[in-house]
Copies of this chain bind each other. A is one copy, B any other.
Amino acid sequence: MDDRVKNGYGEAMARPRAFDERRVLERAREQFWASGYAGTRMDDIAQATGLGKGSLYGAFGDKGKLFHRVFSEWCTAVVEVAEGRLTGGPDAEALARLSGYVRLMAENTACDTERRGCLLAKGAAELAQQDPTVAGRSAETMAALMTLLRTEISAAQRHGDIDGAADPERLAALLLTVVRGIEAVGKAGVDPQTLRNIADTALDLLPRP
């Protein structure tokens, strides 16, 4: 009925878990990432993690809950990468931070030789329409990324690297679209060098004062 205390690392447990939860989630992520939600079987995950079904279901609930968890953690990681690249520096380097971030995203897609794309895009494409949890989490993630970008654009404007007359909100939305678009056309088969060029071109076109 109610949620019991699961595994608080040090809680007194009757029998301790024999697996590392993080490692299991990593493996599960690999599976979902490679094959999508509908395309991966719980048996695959059991196999990949070495867990029996009982443990798997006991620890994570059903397939949907497990996916939600993996998806949500992915979204968190996506935002954290952006935060790591974008926040906390002088205005003088804001434009460089923006360039670095956009180029990094392009490079990631360019190097994705296995064409797995991004779990965020894949999950949203497959499930956002029917699954409110996925839809909500992906919308949240977009909003967070947009805010990060807007903040840096404003900083670059303050320092005079981007035209102060431009609307930072709109530029942020455009950059986000370019980043997500690169991932989309990359999955659709556009070649890696073109992907890198797209990032550079977008950055070149940002309005100067």
What number of copies of this chain does the assembly contain?
2
Nearest chain B CB to A206's CB is how many angstroms away?
A: 7
Among A14-22, A56-64, A173-181, the stretch that binds chain B is A173-181
- Write the chain B residue with the least CB distance to A176: B185
Q: Which B residues lie within 8 Å of A117 (CB)?
A: 125, 129
A138 within 8 A of B: yes
- In which size bucket is the chain A interface? 35 or more
A181 touches B177 (CB 8 A): yes
Nearest chain B CB to A197's CB is how many angstroms away?
A: 5
A95 within 8 A of B: no
Q: Which of B125, B174, B198, B202 contacts A121 (CB 8 A)?
A: B125
Q: List 10 A-B contacts (CB under 8 A).
A: A115-B135, A120-B188, A136-B189, A142-B185, A170-B197, A170-B198, A171-B201, A174-B202, A178-B178, A205-B205
Known: A121-B184, A174-B202. 18 other contacts (CB 8 A): A36-B125, A38-B38, A121-B125, A124-B188, A125-B187, A126-B126, A128-B188, A142-B190, A173-B194, A173-B198, A173-B201, A174-B205, A176-B190, A177-B185, A177-B198, A177-B202, A178-B178, A205-B207
A: which residues have CB within 8 A of B?
34-36, 38-39, 114-117, 120-122, 124-126, 128-130, 135-136, 138-139, 141-142, 146, 167, 170-171, 173-174, 176-185, 187-190, 194, 197-198, 200-202, 205-207
